[in-house]
Structure 1
Amino acid sequence: MVVVQRWRVITAFALVGAATQLVWLTYAPVTTVAAAHFGVSESAIGWLANMFPLLYVVLAIPAGIALDRWFRPSLIAGAVLTAGGAALRLVGDDFAIVLIGQTVVAIAQPLVLNAITGIAGHYLDEQDRPTGIAVGTASTFAGMAAAFVLGAALPADSQLTTLTAIGTIFAAVAAVALTVELLRAGTGPATRTPTSLAALRATVGDSYVRRLCAAVFFPFGTFVALATFGQALLEPSGVSADAASIVLLVNVVAGVVGCAVIPVAVLRRGVELPAVMVGLTASAAACLLVALAPGLATGFLAFVLIGLTLLPALPIVLSMAERHTGAAEGTAAGLIWMTGNLGGLIVAGLTGLLVDRPSLAFTLCAVTTALGVPLAMRLRQPTARDATSSQ
């Protein structure tokens, strides 16, 4: 397989990864408008997004196992279900239909995101895999950014169908592109032997994989908490909703840039642990800054720093998992994503309880991020026992 064809597969996969996040957050930027349009509460609209991390926690491991056993069919199924669920939302102008469509996409999401390491492992040479994983991870944050931009550009009730249709068309085009490229490329030049059930059990019980999962629990939770409640936490310090939206958008854009650039340089130089620990420390300091001196300038600085330094930890950890687990990378990635989403549910839940006390909420985020530092320090090179357990 020529190099150009390999990267066409990665590019098509990145489009599907972006589509999952674009569809996930379709209604988040227009919650109030969507609630009025469908005649439901804002809390109900929130569940159109909240079900995604909940279902991810449940489906992460089954999706990882499916990808390890049947990579191409499982990934194609994830892409097609994403497009199908997105299209289902257009069948009727009714909240129940939209909820069903979002649920289908939420079920598909683990089949796509768990494949970030697998797509690189199957179709790229070893030296190119960190770049492939970085591109795949960055695409998910790019999809989030696109959702915020589209929500700001199409905020009116009369534009809600157009907003939904754009996400649907993008998801459909991405699904077709990935399906065509995967069928054209075959199983890939770096085809892995399907893992046995014993190997899957060993991956779940691998102490090094568990340490990788622990390392993302609190940082991932901090990002979800800030993305969910950032606007509400900045408002008491005089930051308008429009300004806060820009801050959150820049945060995600900074994350896209950070995920695309930093992991590649870090992994090629073999400085994963120092990079992760520096990122966690810088992000914790950023949260503490806005806790002590809230305002637009400090909020902007803090959220940009968090995007640049905290989010790249995810592709770095995913690359470390791919390198350690080999053929069971889908299961390992599923465990990591599951742990991250669980951290998001817990940290965001605690932050929500403090939404009326922004300084305490930002301090909580600083503490949870800082807790990731000692956990990251445990990610030394795998011991002989770790290596044996992953076989």
Structure 2
Amino acid sequence: MRMRSQWPAIVGYSLVGAATQLVWLNFAGVTTVAAARYGVSESAIGWLAQVFPLLYVVLAIPCGLLLDRWFRPALIAGAVLTALGALVRLIGDDFTWLLAGQILASIAQPLVLNAVTGITGRYLSEKNRPTGIAVGTASIFAGMVIAFLLSAIFTTASSLPTMLWLTAIFCVLAAAVLIFVVRRPGPFEPAHPGESALRPDRGALATAWGDPLIRRLCVLALFPFGVFVAMSTFAQALLEPAGVSGGTASTILLVNVIAGVLGSAIIPILVVRRHAESTLLVVSLTATALACVLLAVAPGVLTGFVAITLIGLLLLPALPIVLELVERRTGEAEGTAAGLIWMAGNLGGLIVAVVVGLLVDHPTAAFLVMAAIALIAVPGARSLRRPIAELRSQSQP
């Protein structure tokens, strides 16, 4: 009997993936207002978001190992912790409860995001997995869009509790849906995951990190992640000297993420079908470098919209493409391998954001640095053509 893909599991996962990003970025657009309401500095409000990448770097591998050993319980734990984090923020109207909730949700994030390859591998047939990874990854970016929209609607100090309540409701409903749709093992679940020859610790990690292709993908992930995080963090400050207002910069970033959602949902599917993964990575990194150069030499509203939207459209789809390669390559160690990719990406985001932050008063230099970082990765992306072709030939009957 031919087993059929179970798409409701992908829907449930997508909702929880969006929820993690919603909690992460709730205060990104209302930093000043939130600081005034809770009586803390703007940098303290910034830490409500910064705890996520910091803890991700620490927890990516342990969470990947948990997913490889106990996939459904670990994923459900991530969904529940995300909902609990959102609810904890409602206990008291002060910064301490906000931070406690953010820490809970940040612990949950790697359990959810690392699972994107595992959920598709267990609930979708092989031909549907690239689409599932693209949809799951696009939902993560869609959660960013929801966060930006909420912060654009609830802009006053008095409206922040309403924003937090809506976020908590969304997170609880998302967790409930996921728990329901993954209550049974997927039709493509490994026959005896508890008896796997892979040990739940060093075996999976050794399998993932011992693969040369996975190591190369981890190194490559540092660069696009780094540029995207730095651009998202400092675009407003870097464009301000060119007369771009804060509101306009926020709109540019929103359009950037929307373009990334659309690109992540569509481009990887087409690329995988045409066996053009390496080509897309080269094109996206090159286009990103050119866009950053454009911003360096001619910053402004129009160039900001064009360049940053192009970056979102072409750079963000690199993530699902890399994760799809990981899913095809690693088998039982997919959670750990995905964790390595996410960890490398978050590490790249932290490093590049720090470097660009030091140059925030020198926009031209900052944009040129981001262009150089994107260009550095182009040879690595081009060199993937042969190992990807070999991987494709190995997976064909």
TM-score exceeds 0.5:
yes
> Could you tell me which residue of structure 1 aligns to residue 66 of structure 2?
66
Structure 1 residue 378: deviation in Å?
Answer: 2.8
Alignment of 1:172-321 (within 5 A): 172-183=172-183, 186-192=184-190, 193-194=192-193, 195=196, 196-197=198-199, 198-321=203-326
Structure-2-length-normalised TM-score: 0.94
Runs of 4+ in 1 over 2 A off after TM superposition: 1-4, 192-195, 197-200, 380-387
- Distance (whole Å) between structure 2 residues aligned to residue 72 and residue 374 of structure 1: 38
Q: Are 2:304 and 1:335 equivalent residues in the alignment?
A: no
For structure 1, list consecutive stretches of 5 or more residues without a partner in the other structure: none
- Distance (whole Å) between structure 1 residues aligned to residue 186 and residue 217 of structure 2: 27
Q: Aligned with 1:248: secondary structure?
A: helix
- Distance (whole Å) between structure 2 residues aligned to residue 114 and residue 78 of structure 1: 10
Q: Are 2:16 and 1:11 equivalent residues in the alignment?
A: no
Q: Are 2:61 and 1:56 equivalent residues in the alignment?
A: no
> Could you tell me which residue of structure 2 aligns to residue 84 of structure 1?
84
The code of the aligned residue for 1:313 comes to A
- Distance (whole Å) between structure 2 residues aligned to residue 261 and residue 382 of structure 1: 24
- Distance (whole Å) between structure 2 residues aligned to residue 110 and residue 311 of structure 1: 18
Q: Are 2:123 and 1:118 equivalent residues in the alignment?
A: no
Contact (CA 8 Å) 2:329, 2:391: kept in 1 or not? no
- Distance (whole Å) between structure 1 residues aligned to residue 244 and residue 283 of structure 2: 29
- Distance (whole Å) between structure 2 residues aligned to residue 213 and residue 121 of structure 1: 20
Q: Deviations over 1:193-222 (max 9, x none)?
A: 535133431212221110011111011000
Q: Deviations over 1:62-93 (max 9, x none)?
A: 00000010000000000000000110000000
Contact (CA 8 Å) 2:63, 2:111: kept in 1 or not? yes
> Could you tell me which residue of structure 2 aligns to residue 168 of structure 1?
168
- Cα RMSD over matched residues? 1.7
Q: Deviations over 1:234-261 (max 9, x none)?
A: 1110011111110000000000000000
- Distance (whole Å) between structure 1 residues aligned to residue 240 and residue 131 of structure 2: 38
- Distance (whole Å) between structure 2 residues aligned to residue 119 and residue 318 of structure 1: 12
- Distance (whole Å) between structure 1 residues aligned to residue 368 and residue 54 of structure 2: 25
> Could you tell me which residue of structure 2 aligns to residue 378 of structure 1?
383
Contact (CA 8 Å) 1:76, 1:175: kept in 2 or not? yes
- Distance (whole Å) between structure 2 residues aligned to residue 2 and residue 377 of structure 1: 37
- Distance (whole Å) between structure 2 residues aligned to residue 165 and residue 369 of structure 1: 39
Q: Aligned with 1:141: secondary structure?
A: helix
- Distance (whole Å) between structure 2 residues aligned to residue 356 and residue 258 of structure 1: 32
The code of the aligned residue for 2:186 comes to G
The code of the aligned residue for 1:118 comes to G
Rate the CA distance shift 1:175–1:254 in 2: closer, same or farther, 3 A: same
Contact (CA 8 Å) 2:323, 2:338: kept in 1 or not? yes
Structure-1-length-normalised TM-score: 0.95
- Distance (whole Å) between structure 2 residues aligned to residue 339 and residue 200 of structure 1: 14
Rate the CA distance shift 1:275–1:79 in 2: closer, same or farther, 3 A: same
Structure 1 residue 377: deviation in Å?
Answer: 2.2
Q: Are 2:353 and 1:353 equivalent residues in the alignment?
A: no
> Could you tell me which residue of structure 1 aligns to residue 141 of structure 2?
141
Q: Deviations over 1:141-167 (max 9, x none)?
A: 111011111101110000010111111
Structure 1 residue 382: deviation in Å?
Answer: 3.5
Q: Aligned with 2:91: secondary structure?
A: coil
Rate the CA distance shift 1:2–1:383 in 2: closer, same or farther, 3 A: closer
Rate the CA distance shift 1:381–1:122 in 2: closer, same or farther, 3 A: farther
Q: Aligned with 1:318: secondary structure?
A: helix
Contact (CA 8 Å) 2:21, 2:140: kept in 1 or not? yes
Q: Aligned with 1:28: secondary structure?
A: coil
- Distance (whole Å) between structure 2 residues aligned to residue 188 and residue 378 of structure 1: 35
Q: Aligned with 1:223: secondary structure?
A: helix
Aligned residues: 384
Contact (CA 8 Å) 1:259, 1:311: kept in 2 or not? yes
Structure 1 residue 385: deviation in Å?
Answer: 11
The code of the aligned residue for 2:288 comes to S
The code of the aligned residue for 2:89 comes to R
For structure 2, list consecutive stretches of 5 or more residues without a partner in the other structure: 393-397
- Distance (whole Å) between structure 2 residues aligned to residue 11 and residue 180 of structure 1: 11
Q: Are 2:330 and 1:325 equivalent residues in the alignment?
A: yes
- Distance (whole Å) between structure 2 residues aligned to residue 359 and residue 252 of structure 1: 23
The code of the aligned residue for 2:147 comes to A
- Distance (whole Å) between structure 2 residues aligned to residue 361 and residue 242 of structure 1: 21
Q: Deviations over 1:121-151 (max 9, x none)?
A: 1100000000000011101111101111110
The code of the aligned residue for 1:78 comes to G
> Could you tell me which residue of structure 1 aligns to residue 371 of structure 2?
366
Structure 1 residue 2: deviation in Å?
Answer: 7.5
The code of the aligned residue for 1:371 comes to I
The code of the aligned residue for 1:215 comes to L
Identity %: 60
